[in-house]
Amino acid sequence: MKIVTVIPARYNSTRFHGKVLYPIDKKPMLQWVWERAVSIKGMDRVIIATEDIKVLDFAKSIAADALLTSPNCQSGSDRVWEVVKNIKCDIVVNLQSDEPFIEADVIKDAIELLIKRKDFDISTAVSKIDNNSDVMNSNCVKVVIGDDMNALYFSRLPVPYHHKLSEISKTYPYYKHCGFYVYRKEALGKYVSFKPSNIELLERLEQLRALENGLKIGVVMAERLGPAIDVLSDIKKAEKYIKTVSRIERSKIK
């Protein structure tokens, strides 16, 4: 199977302007993500997709394959589709530019899941949440998972609700979503043809459009997920994360 990774890198982010080039431990965030992607064996091509010449120039400075895309793309997935629609491939990895610490093995697991499970149209990753602040943080997207490892719903609220009378309420974990997706190319084409759904617009979560239109999303478990960068204050969390990992673990993310 031919696998292409696209890193949508929108410079004009509403909540954190220019965040894709903001340094984390002296390295631009986008470079962290790109280095992770190109380290994965079996990847046929890794492309940075951006609407801004500043990102394109930076990509050239690190010898990255990059394309200038329309500023009118409504979502990262729309930007990815603009890049891959005329590229011959089977699997498309949408690797978010604001997830600098996602490990290569997790991405590979998600790719393998999609190849093995023909009933899944899309795959992604989740991790158990181990602190209450993430449970209550609306920037930390929670996932409801079915028994066959399919995603039933994504929300910025703490879901599923843990009723105090439920016998498993104290032991059943919340799961955090890692914002990358692996698509079958035909599934991505279907997704971008759908109109944005009301629940997608309410939660501002594009993956809800896929679920509402019947696409099935499978999940793999990640041992840990480093912080995503949504707002400027997340940079401090990222730098703290780097300092707290062991030397061996740190070698995996640098």
Choice between 13 and 184, residue whose per-residue pLDDT is larger: 184
In the chain, domain spans: 3-252
* Of the listed ranges 170-179, 195-204, 228-237, the one predicted with least confidence: 228-237
Task: Please tell me the CATH code under which domain 3-252 is placed.
Answer: 3.90.550.10
| Beta strand ranges found along 26-174 (DSSP E) | 27-28, 45-50, 65-68, 91-95, 122-128, 142-145, 151-155
Answer whether residue 9 shows pLDDT above 60.
yes
Q: How far is Cα 5 from Cα 151, in angstroms, rounded to an integer?
A: 22
Alpha carbon 89 to chain centroid, angstroms: 20
What is the reported pTM? Answer: 0.90
